[in-house]
Amino acid sequence: MKTVRANDIRPDDPIWVWDGCWLPAVVADVVFEPDGRLVIVRFENGCSAPASGPDLKPRDPDARGSDRPRLFARLDITKESKSV
């Protein structure tokens, strides 16, 4: 599943938001910041929060959760190792 680009996001788009697990939400607003765009999302319980591109995935409400991203879709794995 692809990551949502900030340029593709519109208010009321259904999305998945990573917050320790993938949660269903909708885009409430897109705010322009000096360092780029910030997306304000509204969760199903009515709470709103800011989110960034890597934490967002497109969602199909008709799929009833079957399109929820897998856990590893969010994990950033690096090949670098630290020497002590």
Terminal Cα-to-Cα distance of the chain (whole angstroms): 36
Mean pLDDT of the chain: 77
pLDDT higher than 60, residue 80: no
Structure confidence by residue, pLDDT tens digits, 65-79: 787 887 655 544 344
With a cut of 90, say whether residue 84 has pLDDT above it. Answer: no
Q: Cα dihedral sign for 71, 57, 52, 34? A: positive
Q: What's at 66, amino acid-wise?
A: S
pLDDT at 76: 46
18 has which bridge partners? Answer: 22
In total, the chain counts a number of residues equal to 84
CATH number of 6-60: 2.30.30.140
User: Per-residue pLDDT tens for 16-33?
Assistant: 998 888 999 999 998 877
